[in-house]
Amino acid sequence: MLTDIAIRKAKPAAKSLKLSDGRGMYLLLKPDGGRYWRMNYRYEGKRKTLALGVYPEISLFDARLRREDARQLLANGADPGAVRRDAKRAKVEAARANNETFEAIGRDWMVRQDVAEVTANKTRWILETFLFPELGRRPIAEITPRQLLDVLRKIEATGKLETAKRAKVKAGQVFRYAVLEGKVESDPTASLKGVLKPPKGKHHAAVTDPLRIGQLLRAMDGYGGQFTTLRALQLAPLVFVRPGELRQAVWSEFDLDGAIWRIPAERMKMKAAHVVPLSTQAVDILRALWPLTGQGYYVFPGIRTDRRPMSENTINAALRGLGYSGEEMTGHGFRSMAATRLNEMGWNSDAIERQLAHSELNKVKAAYTHAAQYLEERTRMMQAWADYLDALRHGATVMSFKRQA
């Protein structure tokens, strides 16, 4: 007979262990630490095994109750495994009929999210690739923390630690939505805090040394691929917006005569409208591109069709083609490049942060923040930044400078 103390003290081994409690029931202790209640029985001369739950969600006391229920079914001539399968099938069919499976609730939640397209696409990818195949058909109210953990550890086992972490976050958001909709009582991810391996720190590689910036700019000017990709490469360091905001830019957002780019809130990560003052160099790049794509919708259309923007991999692929690895420079790295150098040059950090369109930490301040905040200073800063990049491109030795009053 098992005891709770004996179960808690039991240590995993290289191979699965069976800790017997008698009358066919035992605790299966897996090498990864998982503890599963099982019961062996015979029905019509065949040896079978019935799953009774996962410890500690199902306590020793509860497991014994389930064992006795199974033995009563056997005494009445029924196969407890078949009874379990029939009940589970009925629950699944009822959940489908009522749109209460994990996938149905998850898709309903996705439709209701007001997020940027790139965020929505990443969420859909995580759910459809990792969570729906494993949990999608199950009634959401029946999913236990251990079942979810098994799915997350399956992702973790492939080395995708960051993906496992994000999958847990997305699953939690779906469950919390289900709680609000009255479909479940609680979010099972709440009990999974700290159970996954922490992902390694991630950063967006960037070139920030002035000499290397000049080398990078000259390399980009010599890019021999698509003309639109060349212009996107050249514009990226001048405006230092997020890669998705650049590649999805549309001509109607630009006022080239007024040298301004107004990005609507729905295209911004922080869901707030953004204004990008355009340097004379940035305007020149866009005017050079106008004859090629100006009659279309996107500034940087895709290669196969102008009905879609440039691929999210295009800029990074171009940088790889120029000899810059993912550990050296990325499309997102132009933001780090600008932030690092502009701060060292002495520009107002608030103006830099506003130009980077970072979220305001102060919620009261955020409520009154306008896209045009510090616009006059940002306009001077963006032109000075473009002139600074030109000097580096031509190999000049440029000293850090303070902003003009």
Spatial separation of the C-alpha atoms in residues 335 and 353, rounded to whole Å = 11
Provide the token pair at 263. Answer: 């990005």
CA angle 93, 140, 35 (to 5 degrees): 110
Spatial separation of the C-alpha atoms in residues 389 and 237, rounded to whole Å = 8
Closest to 282 measured CA to CA, from 310, 241, 323, 311:
241
Q: Classify residue 252 by its DSSP letter.
A: G
Residues labelled catalytic: 242, 269, 332, 335, 358, 368
Cβ neighbours of residue 385 closer than 8 Å, sequence gap 6 or more: 238, 279, 338, 341, 342
The amino acid occupying position 29 is L
Residues in the chain: 405
Cβ neighbours of residue 54 closer than 8 Å, sequence gap 6 or more: 34, 35, 36, 37, 144, 146, 147
Coil, helix or strand at residue 328: coil
**Other CB atoms within 10 Å distance of the CB of residue 38:** 17
Q: The sheet that has 35-43: what strands, in order across it?
A: 17-22, 25-29, 35-43, 46-55
Q: Which helix (H) or strand (E) holds 53?
A: strand 46-55
Spatial separation of the C-alpha atoms in residues 327 and 400, rounded to whole Å = 26
